[in-house]
Amino acid sequence: MTRIHRLRPLFLFVLLASLQCGAATAAAGYGGGAEGFCSAEPSSKCSGDQPLYWKVTHPTLAPAHLQDLPGFTRSVFKRDHALITPESHVFSPLPDWINTVGAYLISPAIGAHFIMYLANMQDGSKSALPPKDVERFVFVLQGSISLTVGTGTIHSLLVDSYGYLPANTKHSMISDEPTTLVIFERRYNAIEDSHPDLIVGSTDKQPLLETPGEVFQLRKLLPTSLSYDFNIHIMDFQPGEYLNEVHYNQHGLLLLEGQGIYRLGESWYPVQAGDTIWMAPFVPQWYAALGKTRTRYLLYKDVNRNPLI
């Protein structure tokens, strides 16, 4: 197969996405309020008036001309990857939590060794503990929580703040306003004489790290020491910047801001803020940021353990 023939599907895909953008923009009128999928928002409305990560909790569910089409979804599940889009979320009460509903986005049922879910809390909501030997990472997308650890240490977590709770750490999370969390949990893979610590922080306090040969910006929210068997990355892409890789690690990704095109295996997907992606080990992955604003996503990655164990 010639290079031209190999590129033809990508060209047609990007052309189709562009046509969808144009149709959605025309339908919205850009003055009336409705937004189409992958339409670039006016910068004054996008970043000036709305809270950080507002699009995650208020996503554009479909192109304007498809919003009323029964059965429409962009979600896809395949052997080595899944794209879970907001119109597919199913919320139900979280077991043992108080006044909280959740939507499981990634679980072992699709081949993952971790779970990833959204938790929607209200005034008076309270969390439950994860199962025995399970570690937990919490990131605040909307609202705020009070995180109480042990017998009384209290941390206030606002939007863009996070907490890592080592396995079997007694803790609770309480909200007094509408709050949305994204949570990762996995059974801790212990190694001798290594014990992770409680971590509480915020994205803006983490330094930008060097990424030799790459064009995106990277922050790591957890320490890189052997005590930790996964990390959470915050990755920023300006329009036109890209990423291309294949590796043994699994990923769970939540797009926090922006839009672009994601290649997973031999498939190409338009994605936007609010979309979730699961990537199995060694699935080819490529992302390019599109539009007029940056892309930011939050990424789970297993680290520091022998793949044979």
C-alpha angle 245/246/250, rounded to 5°? 110
Q: What is the pLDDT of residue 64?
A: 65
pLDDT at 20 over 50: no
Lowest-pLDDT range, 27-31, 81-85, 162-166?
Answer: 27-31
Q: What is the arithmetic mean of pLDDT over 271-289?
A: 97
Higher pLDDT: 84 or 22? It is 84
182-196: pLDDT as tens digits: 999 999 999 998 899
Percentage, residues of the chain above pLDDT 90: 74
DSSP string covering 13-68: HHHHHHHHHHHHHHHHTTTSS---TTPPPPHIIIIISSPTTHHHHS---S-GGGTT
Q: What is the pLDDT of residue 3?
A: 42
| Domain spans in the chain, listed from the N-terminal domain onward | 54-302
Label residue 16 by pLDDT band (50, 70, 90): very low
Asked if residue 100 lies in contact with residue 143, where contact means CB atoms within 8 angstroms, the answer is no
Length of the chain: 309
100-118: pLDDT as tens digits: 999 999 999 999 999 999 9
* C-alpha closest to that of 41 among 303, 272, 205: 272
141-157: pLDDT as tens digits: 999 999 999 988 999 99
pLDDT at 205 over 90: yes
User: Do β-strands 171-174 and 145-149 pair in parallel, antiparallel, or remain unpaired?
Assistant: antiparallel
Q: What is the arithmetic mean of pLDDT over 234-252?
A: 96
> Which pTM was predicted?
0.84
pLDDT at 2 over 50: no
Asked if residue 201 lies in contact with residue 213, where contact means CB atoms within 8 angstroms, the answer is no
Q: What is the pLDDT of residue 63?
A: 66
Which CATH superfamily does the domain covering 54-302 fall into? Jelly Rolls (2.60.120.10)
* 149/270 Cα distance (integer angstroms): 40
* 94/198 Cα distance (integer angstroms): 24
30-81: pLDDT as tens digits: 333 333 444 434 333 444 588 999 999 988 776 666 666 777 889 999 999 9
Name the 3-class secondary structure at 167: coil
Q: What is the arithmetic mean of pLDDT over 113-142?
A: 98
Q: What is the pLDDT of residue 11?
A: 40
Q: What is the pLDDT of residue 35?
A: 39
Name the 3-class secondary structure at 10: helix
146-149 own/partner pairs: CB under 8 Å, 24+ apart: 146/173, 146/174, 146/175, 146/176, 147/171, 147/172, 147/173, 147/200, 148/172, 148/173, 148/174, 149/198
